[in-house]
A and B are shown apart, each in its own frame.
Chain A
Amino acid sequence: MSDSPVAVEQHGPELLHHFADAEQQRNAASLGMWIFLGTEIMFFGGMFCAYLIYRLAYYNEFAVASRTLSLPIGTINTAVLICSSLTVALSVRAAQLGKQKQIVVLLVLTLLFGLAFLGIKGYEWREKFVEHHVPGSSFSFDEPMPGHPEAKIDPRHAQIFFSLYFAMTGMHALHMIIGVGIFGVLIFMAWRGRFTPEYHTPVEIGGLYWHFVDIVWIYLFPLLYLIDRHK
């Protein structure tokens, strides 16, 4: 390197030289992930928009269809994801403090909560399959409207609810599976001692992604499960 009038600080090997210092590199990584999450908001936003429009048009069928989902199971799954967000936030904190074993333990817990969520979701989907609520040639729907047994429920409109249900929870589950893969890699890296108080960016970035997937579910739960539970 030619002689430079700029003072050069000591830094670890993780600092890439197109960044002025470690803090700028950290901020750039965080900003990059947030911009990606912005695109994800657009991605899920499209499906949420479709859901809202059809819910407006076919409210009765959506309410009846929503009631065939299990409220206790949906609530438990929401709690499972909230626990996983806690463990991932604590894992970032453990990395900031250099607590190597704690990082691994908390990342493993996060992964386990994620797998639990996926398992519960798989169980719910199987229930829908057994009840013939999966859109397609075997779809059949004849739940009555509570309080209005004579009201006409159009099964095609109910089928739209389930199309949206499977599309949205399916896309969400795909994001969870990707998150599980990412966290598997993070666990390996943590176990090898790759994270220090100065450098734990992968944990922070992975954490941001995981929290976002949690937030998508925080909105999916009331919209899909809680349309009309009071009759």
Chain B
Amino acid sequence: MSEHILPSKLYWTIWAILICLTVVTALVATVDLGWLNPVAALLIATGKATIVVLFFMHVKYTSEKLTAMVIVSALFWLLILLTLSLADYSTRPIG
């Protein structure tokens, strides 16, 4: 973990962004955007998760490169699970 001491204002700013994105995602869900609804919800969720990882978990400020590698690897393996499973099930005939 880096010894960068971040100003508390940064944490409050990230908190405010997260709260706003939460309200936005709830409101957007009430509007009919068709196939965009789940896409928007997941994009917003991923944005929130990213800023939690980068700022609250200090990954942006650490000098330890292995941390980023572990995170990317874990997400890569998760994507293998999700992508291949969904590719299978979503291309099966209905019924």
Contact = CB atoms under 8 A, between A and B. Distances in A.
Interface of A: 23, 26-27, 29-31, 34-35, 37-38, 41-42, 45-46, 48-49, 52-53, 56-57, 71, 75, 78-79, 82-83, 85-86, 88-90, 93, 96-97, 201, 204, 207-208, 211, 214-215, 218-219, 221-223, 225-231
Interface in B4-40: 5-6, 8, 11-12, 14-15, 18-19, 22-23, 25-26, 29-33, 37-38
A31 B1 CA distance: 9
Contacts, number: 131
**Chain A residues touching B, majority SS:** helix
B81 A30 contact: no
A89 B26 contact: no
B56 A89 contact: yes
Contact of A53 (B5, B38, B89): B89
Interface residues of B, number: 50
Contacts of B25: 221-222, 226
B37 A228 contact: yes
